[in-house]
Copies of this chain bind each other. A is one copy, B any other.
Amino acid sequence: MRTFNRYYTNLIGLLDRGYLESQHSLTEARILFELSLGKINASEIMDRIRIDKSYLSRVLKKFEKDKLIIKSKSGKDARASQIGLTEKGKVELKALNTLADKQLEELLKDLSATEIKQLVLNMKSIMDILDQKSASRNR
């Protein structure tokens, strides 16, 4: 277990760097990403990513100010509002993805196509294993 530990510590360190150059934190990027999957409200975002509600509220406020999202009254619950990406928001997310891709490319550029394929497969398999686990926890 100790070994795995060390691997993931290094891995996080390595991958974390990726978001340095962008205008958004990793958390902000994840929020944008969740919003791209369809209109949701703030607490649905909180169900998906671990984030303090006050912080989320401020991030969303900033996104709204920057016209990346629009909030609309939810018909059902007057406390909540449905949040959706604007066109500008979609463009921003796309740019963010492109940037992340480029940085990833930089990180991987000395690898062969085969090695990269291997890497993706490994990453996928990790996520599958962990996904499976968190699914079973919520049962």
Looking across the interface, which residue of chain B has its beta carbon closest to that of A50? B17
Instruction: Specify how many copies of this chain sit in the oligomer.
Output: 2
Q: Are B101 and A1 in contact (CB under 8 A)?
A: yes
Q: Are A4 and B127 in contact (CB under 8 A)?
A: no
Bound Cα distance from A129 to B4, whole angstroms: 15
- CB of A58 closer than 8 Å to a CB of B: no
Residues in chain B near residue A119, CB distance under 8 A:
4, 126, 129-130
Looking across the interface, which residue of chain B has its beta carbon closest to that of A111? B133
Residues in chain B near residue A7, CB distance under 8 A:
120, 123-124, 126-127
Bound Cα distance from A64 to B105, whole angstroms: 39
- CB of A125 closer than 8 Å to a CB of B: yes
Residues in chain B near residue A33, CB distance under 8 A:
6, 9
Contact digits for A14-58, partner B, Cβ 8 Å, 1 yes 0 no: 111110000000110110010000000000000001100000000
Residues in chain B near residue A9, CB distance under 8 A:
26, 29-30, 33, 100
- 10 closest cross-chain pairs (CB), A and B: A122-B122, A7-B123, A4-B120, A110-B133, A7-B127, A1-B101, A122-B126, A110-B136, A5-B100, A122-B125
Interface pairs (21), CB distance under 8 Å = A1-B104, A1-B105, A2-B97, A5-B101, A7-B123, A8-B15, A8-B123, A9-B26, A9-B29, A9-B30, A9-B100, A12-B16, A13-B26, A13-B27, A13-B49, A115-B132, A118-B129, A119-B129, A119-B130, A122-B129, A123-B126
